[in-house]
Amino acid sequence: MDFSLSESDRAFRESVRGFAARHLAAGALERAHDPRFPWDVARHMALAGLFGVMLPEADGGAGGSLFLAVLAMQEIALACPRSADVFQAGNFGAFRTLAEYATPAQKERFFAPLLKGEKIAAVAMTEPDAGSAVTDLKTTATPDGTGYRLNGSKIFTTNTEDASVFLVYCRFGPGTAGIGSVLVEPGMQGFRLGNPSRYLNGERWCALYFDNVFIPAGLVLLKEGGFQKQIAGFNVERVGNATRALALGEYCFRAAKAHAGTRRQFGRPLMEFQGLQWKFAEMRVALDAAELLLYRAAVRAADGLPDPQDVAMAKFACNQAGWLAANESMQVMGGTGYSQELLVEYCLRKIRGWMIAGGSLEMMKNRIAEGIFGRSFPQRPPDRPR
Ligand SMILES: Cc1cc2nc3c(=O)[nH]c(=O)nc-3n(C[C@H](O)[C@H](O)[C@H](O)COP(=O)(O)OP(=O)(O)OC[C@H]3O[C@@H](n4cnc5c(N)ncnc54)[C@H](O)[C@@H]3O)c2cc1C
């Protein structure tokens, strides 16, 4: 087994590192505390060809692998944690699901502005009564003439206020088999946003309300029976979640290491206290182990869509390792780590959200257990199957 990067992978990583140092490192602190989407970063990335890294060249992408996208995201996050969300929007998330399943007409309409960094897409799956149990979603698309009427609501959609297209999970019929998705744009009649709420990570989200919104047939992404495909696309989003959690943990680790080398108490540098050395040892082991699981998930995604079990293990490990590293780094750095003059506290708040978003830690463990025992474990009461 060869753990070294190929020449071309290393060259790509170096080029992204250079880009991040030139365009992203300055202003990282201000960006982290601005709740809105950093469009300046999106435009820089688009110009540098960092949007659509995994997209086929025929669709305007770079034709790269999931592994290359992971390497790029790590470099970006280490220079500017907030900018990693921009890379996510232009490569993973709704973008990737669209890339996989959109019709040629949908690609033509939506991809050009997404690839130029002028617009972003958002995923709207969660509802007030359908979180982890996402297949309980109630938003319906019912046939009406040449299209459908969309009714229902969504919560927790990342980038709500900045998105120009929403990939909305909805129900064309009963049960999991009835779930598909449609594309909704701001300004469509009957579609409105609720008042902004704020997450612990500083970002804002608004509820989405669909009141008899007409969806022309051309804006249906996947009809009934599309749920498994959507989740296959969503597994790529989970890799983006895992990569950012890991990279932000690494960011904190490096900040704490530098701090422990220079900060002196009791007449000696902090790094000479064994109680802190052991924290570094535990963080290093957790981060490296999680990175191996992440790389395995990415490298084995031969057709671009990773194995769900690989992803569940990688996300669980990266969320946990990132959290451990951010939390222990903050402890090592004392009041300096807890203060908003540095990004450690920001990274901690971001990672905390990813332990819930994109499939919580508990849901990842449920999935891992299913893989271990080779069978499904329905979570619903026997009288309420889906
Ligand atoms: C930062 C952030 C960004 C998000 N972005 C988006 C987005 O862009 N689009 C979108 O649609 N949604 C988004 N979400 C919503 C996210 O997907 C949900 O929060 C998540 O699926 C959990 O659902 P819930 O919050 O309703 O919690 P619940 O499902 O109510 O779960 C509550 C707790 O119970 C646990 N639990 C539930 N069921 C089980 C079970 N069977 N076994 C063991 N434990 C269980 C959960 O793990 C959790 O700890 C985001 C959330 C966060 C925090």
Atom of ligand 1 nearest to the CA of 125: 11
Residue with the nearest Cα to atom 38 of ligand 1?
A: 132
Residue 252, helix vs strand vs coil: helix
Say which amino acid occupies 167: L
Q: 356 C-alpha vs ligand 1 centroid, how far in Å?
A: 5
95, 97, 126, 169: which to mutate for ligand 1, most atoms within 8 A of CB? 126
| The predicted structure's pLDDT at residue 96 | 85
206 in contact with ligand 1, CB cutoff 6 A: no
DSSP string for 316-365: HHHHHHHHHHHHHHHHHHHHHHHSTTSSHHHHHHHHHHHTTTTS-HHHHH
Distance CA 252, CA 328 (A): 9
Give the residue, by CA position, lying nearest to ligand 1 atom 1: 353
108 lines ligand 1 (CB under 6 A): no
Q: Identify the pLDDT of residue 198.
A: 95
Quote the pLDDT of residue 111. Answer: 85
pLDDT of residue 112: 87
The Cα-based distances of 197 to 123, 165, 300 in angstroms read 17, 20, 38
pLDDT, position 157? 97
Which numbered atom of ligand 1 lies nearest the CA of 126?
A: 11
Residue-wise pLDDT for 120-151, tens only, equals 999 999 999 999 999 999 999 999 999 999 99
Establish whether residue 366 lines the binding site of ligand 1, counting it when its CB lies within 6 angstroms of any ligand atom.
Answer: yes
CA of 288 relative to ligand 1 center, distance in Å: 27
Q: What is the mean pLDDT of residues 96-102?
A: 89
Please tell me the distance between residue 344's alpha carbon and the centre of ligand 1 in angstroms. Answer: 24
* Average pLDDT estimate for 320-346: 98
Do the Cβ atoms of 271 and 261 come closer than 8 Å?
A: yes
**Backbone dihedral region for residue 282 (phi beyond 0: left; psi -120 to 50: alpha; all else: beta):** alpha
Q: What was the pLDDT predicted at 12?
A: 97
Q: Which two tokens stand for residue 193?
A: 């946003």
Q: How far does residue 29's CA lie from ligand 1's centre (Å)?
A: 28
No. of helices (H) and no. of strands (E), the chain: 12, 12
Pick from 104-118, 150-164, 204-218, 323-337: least confident: 104-118
Q: How far is the CA of 44 from the centre of ligand 1 (A)?
A: 32
Give nearest CA residue, ligand 1 atom 48: 360
Domains of the chain (ranges, CATH numbers): 7-119 (1.10.540.10), 122-225 (2.40.110.10), 228-373 (1.20.140.10)
**pLDDT band (50, 70, 90) for residue 185:** very high
Q: Phi-psi category of 359—alpha, beta or left, where left has phi over 0 and alpha has psi -120 to 50?
A: left
Taking residues 1-19, report their average pLDDT: 95
User: In the prediction, which pLDDT does 93 show?
Assistant: 85
Report yes or no: 54 and 226 within 8 Å, Cβ to Cβ.
Answer: no
Question: Counting atoms of ligand 1 from 1, which one is nearest the CA of 366?
Answer: 42
The residue with tokens 């530098």 is 258
Has residue 273 got a pLDDT over 90?
yes
Return the pLDDT at 60.
87
Question: Quick one: pLDDT band at residue 1, thresholds 50, 70, 90?
Answer: confident
Residues paired with 193 in a beta bridge: 208
For ligand 1, what atom is nearest to the CA of residue 359? 21
Closest CA to 17 of 5, 29, 30, 34: 5
Lowest-pLDDT range of 295-299, 332-336, 348-352, 379-383: 379-383
Express each pLDDT in 42-71 by its tens digit: 999 999 999 999 998 888 889 999 999 999
Q: What are the tens digits of pLDDT across the range 211-250?
A: 999 999 999 999 999 999 888 888 999 999 999 999 999 9
Q: Is the pLDDT of residue 385 over 70?
A: no
The pLDDT of residue 341 is above 80: yes
CA of 351 to the centre of ligand 1 (A): 14
| Nearest protein CA to atom 7 of ligand 1, as residue | 157
Q: What is the pLDDT of residue 383?
A: 80
For range 137-166, the mean pLDDT: 97
Say how far residue 315 (Cα) sits from the centre of its chain.
10
For residue 131, the CA-to-ligand 1 centroid distance in Å is 5
Beta carbon of 202 within 6 Å of any ligand 1 atom = no
- Strand boundaries in the chain, DSSP class E: 121-124, 140-144, 147-154, 165-171, 179-184, 191-193, 197-198, 204-205, 208-216, 220-222, 264-265, 268-269
pLDDT at residue 253, as a whole number: 99
Q: Is the dihedral of CA 139, 140, 144, 148 positive or negative?
A: positive
157 lines ligand 1 (CB under 6 A): yes
Closest atom of ligand 1 to CA, residue 158:
8
Residue of 156, 236, 361, 365 to test ligand 1 pocket, by largest number of atoms within 8 Å of CB:
156
